[in-house]
């Protein structure tokens, strides 16, 4: 069975509206500018350039559940401050989606995932820069499917090491097939690698590896 979830569409439609911004230079009189700055060499300046696809900074799995359940949508505009190494130094919301949760989520994800080739000044030297774009939060329509018939058995096997830490998980279903839903959820999702479980020892007092087997039967019944 495939369990369906609503998800964010971080659509590339926003990309044509994106733009690279550069801050205006500080005011300076002509004499001081001539004395302090080397001759401008045309063709060497360049804005900060995203590495990879900006459409992947916020994915379909990132829609906050609180807003998704209420059908909250909108567009979050943002501007990034990029340092001279190409890292994102800060994110500022320039256009609100109407939801502080969506806006905060957009900035947090972009700050964590965006990487840039640094901007260059007129002399070809790495410098700070700015980049702006938008995240379009769209609640997709619900996809309906036929209700599966009958029951199916699910077996989840969790493998745990000597310290009581999960190393891996596997599952199998008999009857209706279980596949990951739009958020990647499976029967193993509650048992991620690294989660602490109970640690056990044998009769000699030595810590042991073990695996836990969980079985349940599911059935979808229309009301």
Task: Please tell me the predicted confidence (pLDDT) of residue 180.
Answer: 67
Q: How far is CA 77 from the centre of its chain?
A: 17
Q: Residues 79, 130: contact at Cβ < 8 Å?
A: yes
Task: Please tell me the predicted confidence (pLDDT) of residue 219.
Answer: 83
Task: Please tell me the predicted confidence (pLDDT) of residue 61.
Answer: 85
Strand segments, DSSP code E, in the chain are: 49-50, 74-82, 88-95, 116-117, 119-120, 126-127, 129-137, 151-160, 166-174, 200-201, 207-208, 210-219
Task: Please tell me the predicted confidence (pLDDT) of residue 43.
Answer: 63
pLDDT < 70 positions in the chain: 1-43, 176, 180-183
Give the pair of three-digit tokens for residue 130: 């700015």
Task: Please tell me the predicted confidence (pLDDT) of residue 147.
Answer: 83
Q: Which residues of 32-45 are buried (b: 16+ CB within 10 A; e: fewer)?
A: eeeeeeeeeeeeeb
Task: Please tell me the predicted confidence (pLDDT) of residue 60.
Answer: 80
Q: What is the pTM of this model?
A: 0.53
Q: Where would I find the H helices in 37-114? A: 65-69, 100-113
Strands of the sheet with 151-160, listed across from one edge = 166-174, 151-160, 210-219
Task: Please tell me the predicted confidence (pLDDT) of residue 183.
Answer: 62
The residue among 163, 152, 169, 154 whose CA lies nearest residue 212 is 169
Task: Please tell me the predicted confidence (pLDDT) of residue 104.
Answer: 97
Quote helix, strand, coil % in the chain, to nearest 5: 15, 35, 50
């Amino acid at each position: 069975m495939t369990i369906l979830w609503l998800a964010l569409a971080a659509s590339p439609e926003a990309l044509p509206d994106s733009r690279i911004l550069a801050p205006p230079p500080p005011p300076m009189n002509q004499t001081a500018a001539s004395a302090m700055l080397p001759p401008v060499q045309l063709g060497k300046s360049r804005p900060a350039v995203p590495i990879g696809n900006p459409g992947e900074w916020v994915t379909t799995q990132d829609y906050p559940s609180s807003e998704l359940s209420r059908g909250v949508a909108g567009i979050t505009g943002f501007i990034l401050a990029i340092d001279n190494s190409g890292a994102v130094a800060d994110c500022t919301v320039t256009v609100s989606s109407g939801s502080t949760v969506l806006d905060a989520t957009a900035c947090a994800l972009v700050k964590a995932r965006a990487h840039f080739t640094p901007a260059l000044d007129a002399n070809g030297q790495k410098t700070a820069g700015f980049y702006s774009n938008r995240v379009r939060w769209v609640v997709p329509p619900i996809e309906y499917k036929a209700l599966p018939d009958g029951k199916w058995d699910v077996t989840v096997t969790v493998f745990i090491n000597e310290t009581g830490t999960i190393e891996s998980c596997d599952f199998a279903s008999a009857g209706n097939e279980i596949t990951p839903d739009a958020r990647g959820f499976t029967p193993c999702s509650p048992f991620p690698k690294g989660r602490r479980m109970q640690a056990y020892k044998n009769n000699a007092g030595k810590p042991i590896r073990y695996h836990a087997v969980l079985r349940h039967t599911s059935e979808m019944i229309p009301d």
